[in-house]
Amino acid sequence: MTQAKTGEPAASTGFVRLALDIGGTKLAAAVIEPDGRPAEPIRVPTPPSDVWAACRDLLTEVAAGQPVDAVGISSAGPVDLPAGSVAPINIPEWAADGFPIVAAIENHVPGARVRLAGDGVCAVLAEHRFGAARGEPNCIGMVVSTGIGGGIILNGRPVTGRTGNAGHLGHVVVVDPDGDPCTCGGRGCVETVASGPHSVRWAQAHGWTGADGKQLAEDARTGHPVALAALERAGRAVGSVLASVAATVDAPLAVVGGGFSLSGAPLWDPLLAAVAEHAGLSFLHGFRVVPAELGSGSSLIGAACLVDDPTD
C-alpha cells in the first residue's frame, strides 16, 4: 500500500481523494481535484508534539464529512516505504523511532488507498506531471532550501529504491569529503555547502554580517564580495551534483526548486557553469537545468499525483 505510482487521474466515484504534506514547519492537506491537482490547501504549523493528531484533524477538516477513496502522503524524510513509516529528522517526536503513518491513515479512513513518498520525490513528480518537466519521461529534481533534497523520474516513474529514499541528493559528496559535518553523520555533503543556512554560516565565518539566506542573496545581487563568493560556492556545488547524477541515470533534464534556489544569477550562473564543465560525456550533450515552476506547493501536488494509479 505504499508504492509511489502515477498515471491518469481516476474517474470520479462520489468519493474524495486527499493529499497530505508533512513537513518540519507546516502540515498541509487538500482535496484532490478531478484534474489531479489539489484544491486550495489548509495549512497549519507542525506542532512540537502530537503530530499525528494534527495530521488526523487536518484530514478530517479537508474531507468535510465526505467519504475518502484515497490519500497521497508527501513527507520529509527519511521514509520507509515497506514499513509505511516516516522518521523526519526535523520532527523530533518521530525522528528516533519513526511513525507508521500509512497504517494510522488506513485506520482513520478504512478502505482508502494510501500512497506514501518522500517530499523530494513528490516535488519532482509534480514538476514532471504539471510543471517544468512536463513531457520529459527522464528527469532529476532538486530542492535547494533549508536542506537539500531531490528525486528522480525514469521512464515516467519515480525511482524509490529499497526504502523509498532514492534520489535524496543532499547527501552526495562531490565538493569536500573532509568538509563540514552533516546531520546525516558524514562530512562534505552538498547540503553542508549549498543549503541556505549553511551558505549563511559560511558567509558569516568570512566576515559577512547579514542574518539569513534572503539577505545573502540580496547582498550578492548588489555585489557584496563575500555574499557573491558564498553563492558561487553553493551554485558550483549544486551544478556539480546535477551533472554527476545526470551521468549516473542518463537524464536529459534537471529541475531545481526550493526557496534558496530563488537567489538569482549569483547562484544560477556558477551552477550552470559547473554543469557545462562537468557534463562532458556525449550522451549528456544538451543536458539542461531549469527552475522549478510550481513553487512551495509542489510536494502537496506530488502527493496528489501518488494516488492516480490504484494498482500495486
Distance CA 175, CA 177 (A): 7
Q: Which of 285, 287, 180, 293 is nearest to 234 (CA)?
A: 180
The fourth-level CATH superfamily of domain 16-122+297-306 is: ATPase, nucleotide binding domain (3.30.420.40)
Per the CB < 8 A criterion, the answer to whether 133 and 153 are in contact is yes
* Band of residue 90 on the pLDDT scale cut at 50, 70, 90: confident
Q: Over 50: is that where the pLDDT of 4 sits? A: no
> How is domain 134-292 classified at the architecture level of CATH?
2-Layer Sandwich (3.30)
Q: What is the mean pLDDT of the chain?
A: 92
pTM (predicted TM-score)? 0.89
* Residues 195-230: tens digit of each pLDDT: 999 999 999 999 999 999 999 999 999 999 999 999
* Residues 40-58: tens digit of each pLDDT: 999 999 999 999 999 999 9
Mean of the pLDDT values across residues 137-160?
A: 94
Distance CA 28, CA 146 (A): 18
Residues of the chain with CATH 3.30.420.40: 16-122+297-306, 134-292
Q: Over 60: is that where the pLDDT of 302 sits? A: yes
User: b vs e for 135-154, b when ≥16 Cβ sit within 10 Å of the residue's Cβ?
Assistant: ebebbbbbbbbbbbbbbbbb
* Band of residue 181 on the pLDDT scale cut at 50, 70, 90: confident
* Band of residue 170 on the pLDDT scale cut at 50, 70, 90: confident
What share of the chain has pLDDT > 90, as a percent?
A: 84
Cβ neighbours, 10 Å, residue 46: 18
Q: Over 70: is that where the pLDDT of 8 sits? A: no
Distance CA 293, CA 190 (A): 23
Q: Over 50: is that where the pLDDT of 1 sits? A: no
* Residues 72-85: tens digit of each pLDDT: 999 998 999 999 99
Q: Over 90: is that where the pLDDT of 296 sits? A: no
Q: Over 70: is that where the pLDDT of 106 sits? A: yes
What share of the chain has pLDDT > 70, as a percent?
A: 93
User: b vs e for 233-256, b when ≥16 Cβ sit within 10 Å of the residue's Cβ?
Assistant: bbbbbbbbbbbebbbeeebbbbbb
In this prediction, residue 222 carries a pLDDT of 97
